[in-house]
């Protein structure tokens, strides 16, 4: 495939490309380009938001280029401020290490393991002394940092910005300098950080990396970007049932973004789908994505179970069961604690949100208050939360 044909494939779904002429020139060199993608192991799971950029990295692999996956075990100690209105909580080195161990395995569900170079940026940063950090800090001014929308907003609102957060873009950019990256991929919220990489390479007399940013995937709420901190995400390691159910919970409008960014459907193919019933399209979306992370037979089983429960108003066959004694030692307990003890929810915050939306039922009756008390019964108690979670509490 020639350089122009590669370029046309690479440009699909891209939000920002800096710049096209430089990329075409690099592609014309007929050598494997070094394509960089960095992920910070802030939580144990990769999400469908990561899938958007991983898809693009896999494309570069398929075109014959070298994928460099940076596990930001050092940058996670700082905390990426991109898109934040406050300072990120600091993780311990042990937490970061545990999260990082799962990231690589999950990434290989999308990437070609044999064609992927995995590096940890602590490899070079842990060897730097304080004078090295000061020299790096000289590369950027406070005025330049305040050009970032999130920093400017926080500064205007007198919200704290730590000096270490100012260092984050420099640290991420230094990764590109060390690795001689030809291309860096990220979400649109990473544009500033990626451009810093270009600046550091230029100052060192090196060829500047191409910057490619991808659109941010909207989360389950249909409003904010998919984020682990917002509890509105679908994870690579979700069970097939949870993954299928969470996909089915998204809005019809959001569904088309998932077809475009996760399955990489062309615009004309999506337009054709829009003539079909939205529910049928959403079931197809859920089946295709579950198949990608599991297999077609598993996805088909989840589809049949979903249709049985929601089309025929049946209870699921494999509803998880919990003994009352495993929930609490008393004869009554608050509903938030009861449901949280099942481990089927990402947080009590999520449970509270579902209750306020009228999406939680106990034995078929809606639960209206977050402080509702559940009393031990001589009969099983069945809870339904939303369209996808069912649990049975045994006496």
What pLDDT score was predicted for residue 308? 80
The Cα 49–Cα 215 span in angstroms is: 9
| Residue 263: predicted pLDDT | 97
Of 9-18, 136-145, 211-220, 286-295, least confident by mean pLDDT is 136-145
Superfamily of domain 3-216 in CATH is HUPs (3.40.50.620)
Mean pLDDT (whole number) for 113-135: 90
Q: What angle do CA 234, 240, 245 make, to 5 degrees?
A: 60
Distance between alpha carbon 313 and the CA centroid of its chain, in Å? 32
pLDDT band at 311 (very low <50, low <70, confident <90, very high): low
Q: DSSP per residue over 167-211, as a string?
A: HHHHHHHHHHHHHT-SEEEEEGGGHHHHHHHHHHHHHTTPPPPEE
**pTM for this prediction:** 0.76
Confidence of residue 164 (pLDDT cuts 50, 70, 90): confident
pLDDT in tens, 73-85: 888 877 655 554 4
Q: What is the pLDDT of residue 229?
A: 76
pLDDT of residue 88: 53
CA angle 16, 18, 23 (to 5 degrees): 115
**pLDDT for the residue 140:** 80
Q: How far apart are CA 254 and CA 341, in angstroms?
A: 31
Query: Which own/partner contact pairs does 313-320 have at CB distance under 8 Å and 24+ positions apart?
Result: 315/382, 315/390, 316/390, 319/382, 319/390, 319/391, 319/392, 320/344, 320/390, 320/391, 320/392
Residue 239: C-alpha distances to residues 110, 317, 352 (Å) = 17, 16, 22
**Distance in angstroms (rounded) separating the CA atoms of residues 238 and 254:** 20
List where CATH 3.10.290.10 sits in the chain. 321-394
Range list for CATH 3.40.50.620 in the chain: 3-216
| Percent over 70 (pLDDT), the chain | 95
Alpha-carbon gap, residue 140 to 170, rounded angstroms: 8
Fold exhibited by the domain 321-394? 3.10.290
What integer pLDDT is reported at residue 142 of this predicted model? 81
The residues, any chain, with a CB within 8 Å of residue 270's CB and separated by 6 or more, are 256, 259, 260
- Mind listing the pLDDT tens digit for each residue in 167-203? 888 889 999 999 999 999 999 999 988 999 999 999 9
């Amino acid at each position: 495939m020639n350089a122009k044909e590669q370029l046309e494939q690479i440009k699909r779904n891209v939000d920002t490309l800096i710049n096209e002429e430089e990329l075409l020139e690099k592609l014309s060199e007929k050598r494997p380009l070094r394509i960089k993608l960095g992920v910070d192991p802030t939580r144990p799971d990769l999400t469908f938001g990561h899938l958007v950029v991983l898809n693009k990295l896999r494309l570069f692999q398929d075109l014959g280029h070298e994928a460099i996956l940076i596990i930001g075990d050092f940058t996670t100690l700082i905390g990426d401020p991109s898109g934040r209105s406050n300072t990120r909580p600091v993780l311990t080195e042990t937490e970061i290490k545990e999260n990082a161990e799962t990231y690589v395995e999950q990434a290989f569900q999308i990437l070609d393991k044999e064609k992927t170079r995995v590096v940890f940026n602590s490899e070079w940063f842990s060897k730097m002394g304080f004078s090295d950090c000061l020299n790096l800090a000289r590369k950027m001014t406070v005025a330049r940092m305040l050009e970032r929308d999130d920093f400017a907003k926080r500064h205007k609102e007198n919200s704290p910005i730590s000096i270490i957060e100012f260092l984050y873009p420099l640290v991420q950019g230094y990764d590109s300098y060390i690795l001689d990256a030809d291309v860096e991929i990220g979400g649109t919220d990473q544009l500033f950080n990626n451009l810093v990489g270009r600046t550091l390479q230029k100052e060192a007399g090196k060829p500047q990396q191409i910057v490619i940013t991808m659109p941010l995937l909207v989360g389950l709420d249909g409003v904010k970007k998919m984020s682990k901190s917002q509890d509105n995400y679908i994870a690579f390691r979700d069970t097939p049932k949870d993954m299928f159910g969470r996909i089915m919970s998204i809005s019809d409008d959001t569904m088309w973004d998932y077809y475009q960014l996760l399955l990489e459907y062309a615009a004309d193919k999506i337009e054709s789908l829009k003539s079909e019933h939205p529910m049928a399209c959403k079931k197809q979306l859920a089946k295709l994505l579950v198949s990608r992370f599991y297999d077609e037979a598993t996805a088909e089983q989840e589809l049949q179970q979903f249709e049985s429960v929601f089309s025929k108003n049946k209870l699921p066959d494999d509803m998880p069961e919990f003994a009352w004694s495993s929930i609490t030692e008393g004869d009554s307990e608050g509903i938030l604690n009861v449901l949280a003890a099942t481990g089927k929810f990402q947080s009590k915050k999520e449970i509270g949100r579902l209750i306020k939306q009228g999406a939680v039922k106990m034995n078929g009756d809606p639960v209206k208050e977050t402080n509702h008390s559940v009393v031990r019964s001589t009969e099983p108690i069945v809870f339904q939360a939303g369209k996808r979670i069912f649990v049975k509490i045994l006496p």
